[in-house]
Protein backbone atom coordinates (compact mmCIF):
# COMPACT_ATOMS: atom_id res chain seq x y z
CA UNK A 1 0.00 0.00 0.00
CA UNK A 2 1.33 3.44 -0.92
CA UNK A 3 1.91 6.08 1.73
CA UNK A 4 0.94 9.55 0.51
CA UNK A 5 -0.16 11.03 3.79
CA UNK A 6 1.29 14.22 5.13
CA UNK A 7 3.34 13.53 8.26
CA UNK A 8 4.10 16.69 10.29
CA UNK A 9 7.59 17.79 11.21
CA UNK A 10 8.55 17.36 14.83
CA UNK A 11 8.49 20.50 16.91
CA UNK A 12 10.97 19.22 19.48
CA UNK A 13 13.47 17.38 17.31
CA UNK A 14 15.67 16.28 20.20
CA UNK A 15 12.91 14.62 22.11
CA UNK A 16 11.64 12.82 19.04
CA UNK A 17 15.09 11.66 18.00
CA UNK A 18 15.73 10.29 21.46
CA UNK A 19 12.33 8.61 21.59
CA UNK A 20 12.94 7.01 18.22
CA UNK A 21 15.92 5.21 19.69
CA UNK A 22 14.20 4.14 22.86
CA UNK A 23 10.79 3.12 21.48
CA UNK A 24 9.95 -0.60 21.58
CA UNK A 25 9.73 -2.16 18.15
CA UNK A 26 6.48 -2.21 16.18
CA UNK A 27 6.07 -5.95 16.58
CA UNK A 28 6.00 -5.68 20.34
CA UNK A 29 3.46 -2.84 20.27
CA UNK A 30 1.31 -4.84 17.90
CA UNK A 31 1.39 -7.95 20.09
CA UNK A 32 0.65 -5.95 23.19
CA UNK A 33 -2.33 -4.24 21.56
CA UNK A 34 -3.50 -7.59 20.23
CA UNK A 35 -3.42 -9.01 23.73
CA UNK A 36 -5.42 -6.13 25.21
CA UNK A 37 -7.86 -6.31 22.31
CA UNK A 38 -8.79 -9.80 23.45
CA UNK A 39 -9.62 -8.38 26.88
CA UNK A 40 -11.57 -5.55 25.26
CA UNK A 41 -14.88 -7.35 24.90
CA UNK A 42 -17.58 -7.64 27.54
CA UNK A 43 -18.40 -11.25 26.77
CA UNK A 44 -14.76 -12.34 26.99
CA UNK A 45 -14.25 -10.42 30.24
CA UNK A 46 -17.34 -12.07 31.71
CA UNK A 47 -16.06 -15.49 30.65
CA UNK A 48 -12.73 -14.82 32.35
CA UNK A 49 -14.42 -13.57 35.51
CA UNK A 50 -16.62 -16.67 35.50
CA UNK A 51 -13.65 -18.99 35.08
CA UNK A 52 -11.91 -17.16 37.91
CA UNK A 53 -14.68 -18.57 40.12
CA UNK A 54 -14.63 -22.12 38.83
CA UNK A 55 -13.68 -24.41 36.00
CA UNK A 56 -16.71 -24.70 33.71
CA UNK A 57 -17.90 -26.36 30.54
CA UNK A 58 -19.19 -24.47 27.52
CA UNK A 59 -22.86 -25.08 28.24
CA UNK A 60 -22.46 -23.88 31.83
CA UNK A 61 -20.88 -20.62 30.71
CA UNK A 62 -23.56 -20.11 28.08
CA UNK A 63 -26.26 -20.65 30.69
CA UNK A 64 -24.54 -18.41 33.23
CA UNK A 65 -24.14 -15.53 30.79
CA UNK A 66 -27.46 -16.04 29.00
CA UNK A 67 -25.86 -16.52 25.61
CA UNK A 68 -25.81 -19.23 22.97
CA UNK A 69 -23.39 -22.12 23.06
CA UNK A 70 -22.04 -21.03 19.69
CA UNK A 71 -21.25 -17.49 20.74
CA UNK A 72 -19.44 -18.74 23.84
CA UNK A 73 -17.52 -21.36 21.90
CA UNK A 74 -16.33 -18.78 19.39
CA UNK A 75 -15.10 -16.50 22.16
CA UNK A 76 -13.46 -19.37 24.02
CA UNK A 77 -11.42 -20.01 20.91
CA UNK A 78 -10.20 -16.41 20.91
CA UNK A 79 -9.32 -16.68 24.59
CA UNK A 80 -7.56 -19.99 24.03
CA UNK A 81 -5.49 -18.58 21.18
CA UNK A 82 -4.47 -15.71 23.45
CA UNK A 83 -3.45 -18.27 26.07
CA UNK A 84 -5.86 -16.77 28.55
CA UNK A 85 -7.85 -19.95 29.04
CA UNK A 86 -7.14 -23.63 28.56
CA UNK A 87 -9.43 -26.59 27.97
CA UNK A 88 -9.38 -30.24 28.99
CA UNK A 89 -11.69 -32.79 27.48
CA UNK A 90 -13.68 -35.07 29.80
CA UNK A 91 -15.63 -37.30 27.49
CA UNK A 92 -17.88 -35.13 25.40
CA UNK A 93 -17.49 -32.19 27.73
CA UNK A 94 -14.78 -29.52 27.44
CA UNK A 95 -13.82 -28.05 30.77
CA UNK A 96 -12.35 -24.56 30.55
CA UNK A 97 -10.24 -22.76 33.12
CA UNK A 98 -7.92 -19.78 33.33
CA UNK A 99 -4.56 -20.54 31.77
CA UNK A 100 -2.45 -19.00 34.53
CA UNK A 101 -2.46 -16.68 37.52
CA UNK A 102 -1.45 -13.76 35.37
CA UNK A 103 -4.93 -13.39 34.02
CA UNK A 104 -6.39 -12.48 37.37
CA UNK A 105 -3.65 -9.98 38.16
CA UNK A 106 -4.13 -8.25 34.82
CA UNK A 107 -7.85 -7.98 35.37
CA UNK A 108 -7.22 -6.73 38.88
CA UNK A 109 -4.83 -4.09 37.54
CA UNK A 110 -7.49 -2.92 35.09
CA UNK A 111 -10.10 -2.76 37.83
CA UNK A 112 -7.69 -0.68 39.90
CA UNK A 113 -7.54 1.90 37.12
CA UNK A 114 -11.33 2.04 36.93
CA UNK A 115 -11.74 2.72 40.62
CA UNK A 116 -8.97 5.28 40.40
CA UNK A 117 -11.02 7.16 37.80
CA UNK A 118 -14.09 7.09 40.04
CA UNK A 119 -12.25 8.78 42.86
CA UNK A 120 -11.77 12.13 41.12
Partner DNA sequence: TGAATGTATGAACAACTATTCATATAATCG
Partner DNA sequence: CGATTATATGAATAGTTGTTCATACATTCA
- The footprint of DNA (CB under 7 A) covers 4-6, 8-9, 11, 37, 40-43, 57-59, 67-71, 73-78, 87, 89, 91-94
Count of residues near a second copy by CB under 8 A: 66
Cβ nearer to DNA, comparing 18 with 41: 41
DSSP structure string for 42-96: HHHHHHHHHHHH--EEHHHHHHHHT--HHHHHHHHHHHHHTTSEEEEEETTEEEE
Q: Fill in the DSSP letter of residue 4.
A: -
* The entry of a second copy, DNA, none that residue 19 binds, CB within 5 to 8 Å by partner kind: a second copy
CB of residue 102 to DNA, shortest distance in Å: 20
- Residue 57 in the binding site for a second copy (CB under 8 A): yes
Amino acid sequence: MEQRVNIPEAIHGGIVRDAKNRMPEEGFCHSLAGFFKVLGDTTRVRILLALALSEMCVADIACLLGMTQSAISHQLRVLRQARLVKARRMGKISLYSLDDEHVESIVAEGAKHLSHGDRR
